[in-house]
Each structure stands twice: as C-alpha cells, then as structure tokens.
Structure 1
Amino acid sequence: MFAVAFALVTGLSLVSASPSFSVHEQRANIAHGWARVHRPATPSAILPLKIGLKQSNIDKLHDHLLDVSHPDSENYGKHWTPEEVKAYFRPSDESVDVVREWLVEAGVDRGRIELSKGEHWVQVKDFTVAEAERILNTEYHVYQHAHGDTRLGCSSYSVPPHVQPHIELITPTLHFNGRPPRLTSDSNLISLNPTPMIYPTATYESLRPATVRFTTSPRSQLIRAASQNSFAIVEYTPQAYIGSDLDLFFANFSPSLVGIRPELISIDGGVVQTEEMDFGVNIESNFDIGYAMTLVGPGQPLRLYQVEDIPEGSAQLLSPFNDLLDALDGSYCTEDGGDDPSVDGTYPDPAPGGYTGLKDCGNKQRSNVISVSYASNEADLTPFYEIRQCNEYGKLGLMGTTFIFASGDSGVSGNDELCVFPNGTQSVGAPLFNPLFPANCPYVTGVGATQVNPGSTVFDPESAASLTGGGFSNIFALPDYQKKVVEEFYKFHAPPYGSDRYNNSQRARGIPDFSVNGVNCTVVAEGRAIAVAGTSAAPPVIGAMITLINDARLAAGKSPVGFINPAIYSDAFKGAFRDIVSGNNPGCGTDGFESVEGWDPVSGLGTPNFEKLLELWTALP
C-alpha cells in the first residue's frame, strides 16, 4: 500500500501539545525570505478560516491509479468519470459532523459554519484572529517578505485528538509566501532568480544559434483523431507569448503554422498580456508554445491555460498550481474561491486592474495532456499542503489526464540553488538536497534534460545535462511502479552520501522519470533566435509525443494513455528508452548524483524512442 514518508527536514510533528490538543502542523523554520514582524494590530481582525477535510478512500488512490494505468491490468485505460471520482473520494458524513461539532463546542455559532460546494472544506464566516488562536491553540503573527509583501500566519496549530483523523490541513496557517524580485535581463543573459516561489524551470542563456534542432515527429504517418484529442500548455501571468516571435519560429520549422495561435483558456482572469514585454516575461511562453505546436503540427489544436490576472500574476504566489486544479475540478476548490488565501489566488480581485469575476471552479475543459514548465522547492510548503495537491493530480490521472512537470535546473539544489538545513530552513550552502515540487509527486511525470556532447551528433550517445534536477523526495514515498528500478539503483550504484545529504531511506519517490534534450534549443525572443538550456524543454516536447500517441489510440477507438508512469516503468516498455550513462547534477556543495546504467536520479529511464512508445501504447487495449 502507498504511504507518505515524512523526513525531519519538514519540521512536521504529531506530538501532543496538551491533553486536549495535538499539534497537527508546525514549522521549525520561517519560510525563506520571510521575517516575523509583529502581532496583528487587533485580535478582532477577520481570518478566512478553512478546514480541509480528510478525503474518503484516499489511501486507495495509488492502487486504483495503477489499476487503470499499468499495462498488465485488465482495467487498463478504463478511466473513471468525474462523478465517480467525486463520489468515491468525498469526505465522509462522519468527518463533516465531527469537525462541525468541534467548532460548535468551541463556541462557534452553527449558522456561521458552511460546507464548501465541493464538500471538501468546512468554512467559518467572520472568524476572528482571537477565535482562531483559542480554537487552534496558536498565535498569529504578521510575516513580511524581503520584497515587501505581508502575510498572516502561525508557526504551528493544534486540534483535539479526536478531530485530527478527520482533517488534512487548516488555512490560513503555515502556508504563505510572497513576491519575487523583478525578472532582469540584458543583451547577454536572461536571469530568472526569484525568491523560492513558482517560476519557469529554464535557465536561458543567449548562446550562439543552436546547431542542434529537433526534427518533427512522424505525425504524417499517423491516423489522426485531433477533434477528439486535447493538449494544453500552462503559463502563469505575466509570462505571455508574442505572436510575431512565434511566427518567426514557425517560419523556420513549420511554415504552415504561421499565423496560428493556441486556444486561450483564461483561468481567474489570465490574459496574454502585452503591458510588460521583455525576455523575462516572454521567453518561457514563446518556447513552450513554439515547441508544442511545431511538434504536433497544424492538425492538432493547442490549448493555453493562462492562469491568474495581472495583479495576482505579478505577485507570483507560491502555488497557483492549486488555481489551475480548481478550474479543472470543482470538487477540489472551495465555494467562495481559494484553497488558502495566503497562498492561492482569491477572486474577485480587489487590486487595481484585478479580475472582477468569480473564481474559476470546475468550469474549464480538462485536457488529455497538460505540460507545465514551472516548479517550486519541495521545502517551500508543508507536507500536508503538497500531499493534498498531489492527490488531486492522482484523481485527474484516474480520469485519464497526463501531467508532465519539469524537474528543475539547479541539480540537486532547489531554485536559487537553495539547499536545506535539518530544521527545514533553506539557504545557499545548506547541506541537504532540495528536490522540486510537483515533479516529486508520485502521480505526475517528472522530466529532466540531456544534452548532445560537444563534437557529437544527435545520433551519438547523449549525456545528462548538469543543470537537470533530480534526487529523492523528503515527503513522498516510493510508489510501487518505481520500486524495482530504485532497488536496482541502490544495489549496483549506491550514492556516496548519507542521510546528512539526502533521503537515503531507499523508500522515497525518485525523480526524474525520464529526459529529453534540453541544451542548445532554439527559441525566438524579441525577434531574434537564441539558444536556451533548461528542463523547461522537456514538458512540451514529451507532451507532444504523448498527444500524438493519444491521437493514434483515439483514432482506433481506445482511451488516452492517462497517467503514464506505471507503463513506462513496466517490463514491456524496457526497450522504449535510450539509457544515459554519463553526466551528473551537482549542487549543495557536492557532485550530485551520477548517470549510470539503468534508472538514475539524473536522467531517469533515459530518453524516449517515439516510434517504440507509439507501437507499445497503440498495442494496449
């Protein structure tokens, strides 16, 4: 059975705080870039309290996902409907009643207690700081980021022992963050170095024009079912594409696409903004969309999930992944919008120029394949927050959606080359490796980058790109589909580090799952072609491959492939990847891990053979 592993670096504790309370979450450290400034000015300040209920049957998610995703299963490809998923994982009436009665007994008027539309959250109207401090046995403080943003939060909170099994997390509490510095650029370098928050996972350098360029897939040989198929790229405002740059790219690589644009699906007021235009805000979207559209060709429309309005996007909150998930699955979001107002976007947005509509909640089209080239550090958020979000990827996988996330660009370090001290504090020079989220989630596909060696051709063996993120999660346990390859990795190639460097329990989720070339990739930005490097290359390229495979399966009357990890790790797919046996991913004052024979935490299973994957997946029922 799948279980979640908690490492000491999370600062999580479940010890008893008093006979009547048990600590549910706590952080021994203050999130990177933040400082506690003072107590709230008044205890009567309103706190939008939301209690995330324990989902029924969530411990069975792993097994059900394997049941529809493993090629040896008789239920392969028999994905669940949204209604089936909602009913199966809906919190129990007992959990709703226990939480409601706890609040009433603590003095909260029953009329102020509401159950969210998705039935996963209990909300309390007009809840004050004083009430929260008393009921949660905590103290709230104002925290300020180095760049000016302030948030209300606490370092721990507690609940009665009989309530604890019925809840996952309570917000707003420990989960907060703030605004990154403005992206900077000059004629020679694109620098993406925000505070530890969500941001593109590519490091862009203005190199010589790339001599290594992809060739289009053999899509002309496929029987297409584009009208039944869907492929989406995710971008976060203010990141936005420039049409003229796309056309220059298309003119060189796929002339029939000139003038064609992705279908915009605006989430929470997301716009393809043109108020701010420079390398820092255009290159990621130009890259993702250019590669995705060119590889799938004009026969397959591309969707663009543009997330967040301009004010929220400019703030670059830590986890707008939740805002994306809210829009795709109404059972995940709350009735009045926002999963944690100190982390996730809240709408209507009162900021000048903010989106005045209601928060998107289950009203946007799900896509068969979703490519995401953004990430945050695993240490940025609490385990309960990340686990709850990871489970949602798993539920969408049950419905047939493939999520692909980049593994990061700082080797075994996190974004900004931050590593972790044993108490959870992040810093450059700290000893513990810092993998990225959500690539560390066992219900998504985390992908890294390789490179063609100098003086070699695309037909010669590649090396792992030294920037590629990889390692082992400090939060998520080793999933069943990965056990065999990880056991073999430790048996034959055990790393020379101890638990003082990484989670060497041999029971942790390993990343990446596989890789594609991510160095010297051509992109057009501000009207000129440059070469870029980063694992951002991997999600749109791999997403295009899976989309073409889905085309073939749908044309044959079959389902999309959905969650791909159980298949790619199975014995049947062994010949579908080219093993990468050179290169490493340094960070945290070490050489990182080494690329070796078989799966490794640098290049994963290796690089994919599209034709072989197509053959294998189209042969499945």
Structure 2
Amino acid sequence: MRSSLILLCLLGSALSAPQSFTHVVHERRTAEPMDWVSSRRLERDFMVPMRIGLTQNNLHSLGDMLMAVSQPDSPDYGNHWTATDLVKTFAPSTETIDEVSKWLVESGIARDRLHLSLDQGWIQVNATAVEVEELLKTEYYVFTHPSGQEQISCSDYSVPDHVQSHIDLIIPTVHFSSRPTTMAHRKRYGGVGSPDVKNGPFRSDQAITLEKSDLQNCDKYITLDCLRVLYGIKYKPRATRRNSFGIVEFTPQSYIPSDLDLFFKNFVPNLVGSRPKLESIDGGMLQFNMTGFDYNGESNLDLEYAMGLVNPQKVTLLQTGDEIVGASFNTWLDAVDGTYCTHKGGDDPNFDPVYPHGPPGYTGPKACGIIKPPHVISISYGYNEVDLTRKYAQRQCNEYGKVFSKPIITGMFSLTTSMLQLGLMGSSVFYSSGDNGVAGNGNQCVNPSTGQLDPKGTVFTPSFPGGCPWVTSVGATQINPGSSVYAPESACEQVIFSGGGFSNYFSIPDYQCEQVDHYLKKHTSQYTSAQFNNSGSARAFPDVAANGANYVVAINGEFYLVYGTSASSPVFASMISMINDARIHMGRKPVGFINPMIYSHKFKSAFNDITTGNNPGCGTQGFSATKGWDPVTGLGTPRFQQLLEMFKRLP
C-alpha cells in the first residue's frame, strides 16, 4: 500500500490523454534461441505481466564502494552496512520513478494499474498485448519448443528517448528461457546434469573399484587425500558454530544419502550418517524419483568433497526450486535478499520460474529474503553469457556486487509492512568458469553470420556468472598423466577444458587491470577482435583454479570418475571456508570478497602459477596457460598454508 501511495503522489501532475513520443531501441536479442520456433502472433487480449526495471542510483560507484570494504588498507575494510543504507544508496531517484510513471500514464495506462515494488526498483503493470506492443513499438510472438513448452517474446523493443536513461530493462521482452547447466562431466559422455534435464539420463559409465585413497595414483584418481597433499591443506575447523559454508543446487539435481555414506565410509568414516543442513528455497527438496548421474552426480560431487574437506564444519545445502519448474540464479538470489526479490516484480517470468505456481508444485509463499547467506557460497552451474541479454545479466551481476561482495542483507523480509532492520555480513561467492574452454555450454560458439550458437561457430563464448566481476571464477587444472601428486599441475585437458576468456558484457575491474594487461600484450596476437573481446577493457576470467579431473565420486552405489570446474569451485571454496574459520576463531570477520586481495602482489606467493596447457574451443587451441595470470587458470591454484597465513594477518 505504501509503495502504491508513493507512486500515486508522483503521478499527481501526469496527464491521462495518450501522448506521442520519439522511441529508440532499448534492447535487441543478440542471438536467436536454439530449438525455439515462432508459431504465431500473440493474441491481442493476452494479459502480459510487464515489469519495468528502473535505473538504480550510484551503480557507477559500486566498484569504489566494493573496494572500500574489500581492501585491508581501506579504513572501511570489513565495515557492515545496514539494510536501510543498502536500499537508500541504490534505490532509483524520485526523478526516475516520476519520469517512467508519467510516460505510462500519458500513454493511456490508468495510474491505479501501476504498482511500485517495495525497494522502488520495479514498476509493474498488467497490460494486454495490444497495449504493450503500442507502448514498446514491437510485436510479440508465441514461440514453441519441441518439448511442447510455449513462451512469448519479441526480437527487440523501444522506449521514448527521454525515459531511456531511467530504464534498465523491461520484461518479458527479448529474453528466452534458459536454465543454468551443471559444470560436471563424466568421462566420455560430455555435458550432463542440466537442472531441467532436457536430454534425459545418460547411460552409466564404467564404475571403478577404487575404495581407499592412494597417493601413488592421484594422476588417475583424485580423492580427498590427493587434494590435501596437492594444496597443502592441514587444518581442522574450530569455530564451526560461528562459521558457515553453503552449496547451491537446482532441483531436480539432488544428493542420494546412501551415496554420501558410501563415499564417507571409504574416505571420511566419522562422517557416515552426516547430512548437509537443508535450506529449501521455493519448494527445493531432495527427490528420489529420478536417479543416475544426470540427477545426482552434481550434488553428490559437491557435497562429498565440500563436507569431506571442511569436516567437522557443517555444510548448508541451498536446494532451489521444485520438481515442476525448477529454478534460475535469480531464484536463490531472491531468497537471500528480499530487496532484490521484491513483491510482484524482479524476475522475468519468461526466464525465471514464477513462484508460487500452484499444485502439484510448490504452493507456499515466494522465498524472499528468508535465508541468512553463508559466509562462503559455491555454485557449480553456469549460463552462456550470450544466452542472456546484456541488461538482464548486468542487473544480476550488480546484485553480487551490492550484496555478496559486500556485507550481505539477511533475515526475514516483510511483504505487508515496512522493511525490517536486517543484519549484514560478508560473503565470498564462487562460480565454476565452464568446461568447454573458450566455447560455451554444449561446446557451442556464436556463428558471426547468424548470431546463433552453433557447433561450428567461431566467436568465443564466455560464461555467466563466471564473467561477472563481483564473483570469484574458478577454473580447472589436472595432475598430468604419469605425474606425481607433488609435481606441478597443468590446465585441465582431460575430458573437459577450463573455461576462460573475456566478457562481452562486463568491464574490467580495477583489481585485475595490471595482470590482464600484461597477458594481453604478450599472448593473444594469434586471435582478432572477430573472435574475442581483445579491447583490454573487458572483465577477464577465471580468477583462480583448482583440480578438476578424475574425481572419485559415489553415484548410485558405485564409484565413478567425474570431471569439471564443477569440482574445482567447491574445493577452492572449502579452503576459503577453513580460512574464515581461522579468522573467526581469532575474533576477526570472514574474508568476504577476496578478488582485490588475491590479485595484489602481496598474495603472489600464495598461488601455484600454472604455466602449461590450453583451453581449446571454437575451432582453435584457445588461450595458453603461462607465467602470471592467464584466461585458462587465472592466478593459479592455492598454496593453502600461505593463503591461510596471509589472510590471518589481515585486520
């Protein structure tokens, strides 16, 4: 009610008669959707749930604000924000709300149909297709997928030139449904485990008979003991009640309890019977109806290694989405930040699952700000950057910068009263960088002629959110065949190739300018701007790396080998969780966003520089791992003891 009153007051001087404006194209789809076919024009009386994302204030200063709380030399290092400060700092200006609202009213939309979200970031209006097409100077079509699913979309849309600067994006418009894909692969069987399981289960690979750790064979079978030796991990958590570590999974991916026990029986006996703490987001549940690698491999991998490494620290499982419509990244982001979620606004109904959606699926209230985020969060899923429009990806990336890379907004978010005062804490967010080298999911690249993803495409395809500058992107390495666990690793070239490259959407952050500039000047002359963003002003990834080959994982009662940055992310995140434990035990705060620190020269000795290997894709050998940072393995793999001591010395 309060938001509606604010909006009505701002519209006091607006005219009711339709007006004529000069329009400019605001968004255009960059690549046509795979497998979707335009079947018919949208019915004129179809009711479109239009949401207008308003331009937020102070985003130009986001990087500076982030550095202020992330750099130890800053007087604001580690300072917590209040929820009021967060909303006040980034809420759209009164002018923005006023200008966009007046445009809608002057175009003939009755003012009582407009609703402003609680954080004032979105204006919602339900309008017929005829009204929306006139407003946005576009045409909507119904697109059909071979599965029978339908959705509406337009190829581009326009807004009046005088309001364009006040609008981030409008949904539903050019976006297309595309669920994040897991970054776990089985030997010889490619990309499996997509949360929506579009391709069904794959046949089981040959099981292996290894049951105990064997440091002599770490080049063939990676176990917990191999990782401990490889990275010098010698630490037992002590502040377990005050520390927290979360793994995000998307239904129908679900761990199997008996598989955890099989793994623990052989490698961590005292964990037999242990389970992660389940936090259900929008009906997130452990499902046992569908089993096999496609449905259990990712979650089993993440939890077996995360729980095994940080034992006795408890691991939180953020299980996201029900079995009917699944989830997107925005679904779990909504659950940890109510101001991002917003009531009746925020997500794209054509891109993000809508909750609640009625029986037989989840029918409870949408999960808005209901979960206190763990200090460390690992996600082994990713999109192709090109799957998303620039504005959609940018708004989501900003959320990582505002919330996770700084102290985080937590607690219960009221939808009927004014916002509660919420606590804030620092978090580190880790994403897998991708498993197809410079190519995208499914080993596809963009065809420059059609703008579509194509197995024969030649344009490098960065991943998302791994390419967002406010997360830590984790690439993959391997112990070379025939080599000892004590020998230097190389970039992963078994089954998968470490995802890496340069974003087409995001600018390079200050913290990596020096090292990326050095790489570009010496190592990319064989490629041109027609293949990747070689401007020198693009966010580069990954930031770091960890082993991603030959993981022994219990699945369906047997052991299999699993490959991918899907393994690298939770392993690296586990080490940061242990570092947080040490700091909390000392009476200090969690490390939060680590990128500004690890890119500094002070932290150089805390990483094993990976100098061999490539990440092929798009008909090329991709980039090369080399001395210093590179877009294959980032800064390198961790030397845990050095990393621990350096972080312990920070205030």
Could you tell me the TM-score, scaled by structure 2's length?
0.87
- Asked if the contact 2:233/2:640 (under 8 Å) is kept, the reply is no
| Aligned counterpart, 1:415 | 441
5+ residue gaps, structure 2, are 1-19, 211-219, 408-425
Query: Kindly tell me: are residues 206 and 451 of structure 1, through their superposed partners in 2, closer, same or farther at Cα, counting changes over 3 Å?
Result: farther
Distance 2:195 2:240 in 1: 40
Task: Please state how far the C-alpha of 1:221 moved relative to its aligned partner.
Answer: 4.8
Distance 1:49 1:249 in 2: 48
**Is 1:306 the equivalent of 2:312?**
no
Query: Kindly tell me: are residues 461 and 407 of structure 1, through their superposed partners in 2, closer, same or farther at Cα, counting changes over 3 Å?
Result: same
**Is 1:346 the equivalent of 2:359?**
no
Aligned 1:378-397 pairs, distance under 5 A:
378-396=385-403, 397=405
| Aligned counterpart, 1:24 | 26
The percentage of counterpart residues that share the same residue type is 49
Task: Please state how far the C-alpha of 1:426 moved relative to its aligned partner.
Answer: 1.1
Distance 1:73 1:348 in 2: 43
Query: Kindly tell me: are residues 97 and 337 of structure 1, through their superposed partners in 2, closer, same or farther at Cα, counting changes over 3 Å?
Result: closer
**Is 1:138 the equivalent of 2:138?**
yes
Aligned 1:567-578 pairs, distance under 5 A:
567-578=597-608
Q: 1:336 aligns with which of 307, 327, 344?
A: 344
| Aligned counterpart, 2:122 | 121
Residues 208-235 of structure 1, C-alpha deviations (whole Å, 9 max, x = no match): 5553323275887556222121110000
Secondary structure class of the residue paired with 2:95: helix
Task: Please state how far the C-alpha of 1:142 moved relative to its aligned partner.
Answer: 0.7
Aligned 1:89-488 pairs, distance under 5 A:
89-124=90-125, 126-177=126-177, 189=189, 192=192, 206=206, 208=208, 209=210, 210-215=220-225, 221=235, 224-298=238-312, 300-313=313-326, 320-336=328-344, 339-350=347-358, 352-396=359-403, 397-399=405-407, 400-422=426-448, 424-466=451-493, 467-488=497-518
| Aligned counterpart, 1:557 | 587
Query: Kindly tell me: are residues 197 and 79 of structure 1, through their superposed partners in 2, closer, same or farther at Cα, counting changes over 3 Å?
Result: farther
Secondary structure class of the residue paired with 1:286: helix
Secondary structure class of the residue paired with 2:339: coil
Distance 1:27 1:186 in 2: 33
Task: Please state how far the C-alpha of 1:446 moved relative to its aligned partner.
Answer: 0.5
Distance 2:150 2:330 in 1: 21
Secondary structure class of the residue paired with 2:137: coil
Distance 1:270 1:150 in 2: 24
**Is 1:70 the equivalent of 2:96?**
no
Distance 2:491 2:182 in 1: 31
Which amino acid in structure 2 is aligned with residue 364 of structure 1? Answer: I
Which amino acid in structure 2 is aligned with residue 104 of structure 1? Answer: V
Task: Please state how far the C-alpha of 1:183 moved relative to its aligned partner.
Answer: 14
Distance 1:509 1:204 in 2: 38
- Asked if the contact 1:368/1:562 (under 8 Å) is kept, the reply is yes
Distance 1:450 1:183 in 2: 14
Query: Kindly tell me: are residues 495 and 273 of structure 1, through their superposed partners in 2, closer, same or farther at Cα, counting changes over 3 Å?
Result: farther
Task: Please state how far the C-alpha of 1:189 moved relative to its aligned partner.
Answer: 4.5
Query: Kindly tell me: are residues 348 and 383 of structure 1, through their superposed partners in 2, closer, same or farther at Cα, counting changes over 3 Å?
Result: same
- Asked if the contact 2:501/2:632 (under 8 Å) is kept, the reply is yes
Residues 54-108 of structure 1, C-alpha deviations (whole Å, 9 max, x = no match): 1111111111111111233232222423332222111112211111111111111
Distance 1:261 1:37 in 2: 47
Distance 1:443 1:186 in 2: 30
Task: Please state how far the C-alpha of 1:485 moved relative to its aligned partner.
Answer: 0.5
| Aligned counterpart, 1:515 | 545
Distance 2:573 2:566 in 1: 12
- Asked if the contact 2:28/2:155 (under 8 Å) is kept, the reply is yes
Query: Kindly tell me: are residues 593 and 293 of structure 1, through their superposed partners in 2, closer, same or farther at Cα, counting changes over 3 Å?
Result: same
Residues 243-277 of structure 1, C-alpha deviations (whole Å, 9 max, x = no match): 01001111122111110111110001110111111
Query: Kindly tell me: are residues 243 and 373 of structure 1, through their superposed partners in 2, closer, same or farther at Cα, counting changes over 3 Å?
Result: same
Which amino acid in structure 1 is aligned with residue 37 of structure 2? Answer: A
Distance 1:395 1:275 in 2: 38
Residues 280-336 of structure 1, C-alpha deviations (whole Å, 9 max, x = no match): 1001100001111111102x11110001111012xxx6xx10111111111111313
Task: Please state how far the C-alpha of 1:149 moved relative to its aligned partner.
Answer: 1.5
Greater Cα shift, 181-190 or 589-598:
181-190
Q: CA RMSD in A?
A: 2.6
- Asked if the contact 2:30/2:386 (under 8 Å) is kept, the reply is no
Task: Please state how far the C-alpha of 1:21 moved relative to its aligned partner.
Answer: 0.5
Which amino acid in structure 2 is aligned with residue 361 of structure 1? Answer: C
**Is 1:543 the equivalent of 2:573?**
yes
Residues 367-417 of structure 1, C-alpha deviations (whole Å, 9 max, x = no match): 111100000101101000000000001112111111100011111100011
Task: Please state how far the C-alpha of 1:32 moved relative to its aligned partner.
Answer: 2.1
- Asked if the contact 1:510/1:601 (under 8 Å) is kept, the reply is yes
Distance 1:184 1:458 in 2: 22
Secondary structure class of the residue paired with 1:561: coil
Task: Please state how far the C-alpha of 1:207 moved relative to its aligned partner.
Answer: 6.9
**Is 1:527 the equivalent of 2:557?**
yes
Secondary structure class of the residue paired with 1:228: coil
Greater Cα shift, 376-385 or 176-185:
176-185
- Asked if the contact 1:53/1:96 (under 8 Å) is kept, the reply is yes
- Asked if the contact 1:323/1:338 (under 8 Å) is kept, the reply is no
Distance 2:167 2:350 in 1: 19
Distance 1:497 1:185 in 2: 28
Distance 1:196 1:511 in 2: 27
Residues 94-138 of structure 1, C-alpha deviations (whole Å, 9 max, x = no match): 2111111111111111111011123211011x3111110011111
Query: Kindly tell me: are residues 292 and 182 of structure 1, through their superposed partners in 2, closer, same or farther at Cα, counting changes over 3 Å?
Result: closer
- Asked if the contact 2:122/2:345 (under 8 Å) is kept, the reply is no
Could you tell me the TM-score, scaled by structure 1's length?
0.91
Which amino acid in structure 2 is aligned with residue 551 of structure 1? Answer: D
Task: Please state how far the C-alpha of 1:590 moved relative to its aligned partner.
Answer: 0.4
Distance 1:440 1:205 in 2: 32
5+ residue gaps, structure 1, are 1-17
- Asked if the contact 1:118/1:335 (under 8 Å) is kept, the reply is no
Secondary structure class of the residue paired with 2:516: helix
Residues 575-618 of structure 1, C-alpha deviations (whole Å, 9 max, x = no match): 01001111001110001011111111111111111111110111
Residues 131-161 of structure 1, C-alpha deviations (whole Å, 9 max, x = no match): 1001111111111223322111111111111
Distance 2:120 2:379 in 1: 28
Which amino acid in structure 1 is aligned with residue 491 of structure 2? Answer: A
Distance 2:193 2:288 in 1: 22
| Aligned counterpart, 2:41 | 39
Q: 4+ residue stretches of structure 1 with deviation over 4 A?
A: 178-191, 193-199, 202-210, 216-223
Query: Kindly tell me: are residues 176 and 195 of structure 1, through their superposed partners in 2, closer, same or farther at Cα, counting changes over 3 Å?
Result: farther
Which amino acid in structure 2 is aligned with residue 122 of structure 1? Answer: I
Secondary structure class of the residue paired with 1:311: coil
- Asked if the contact 1:594/1:600 (under 8 Å) is kept, the reply is yes
- Asked if the contact 2:330/2:347 (under 8 Å) is kept, the reply is yes
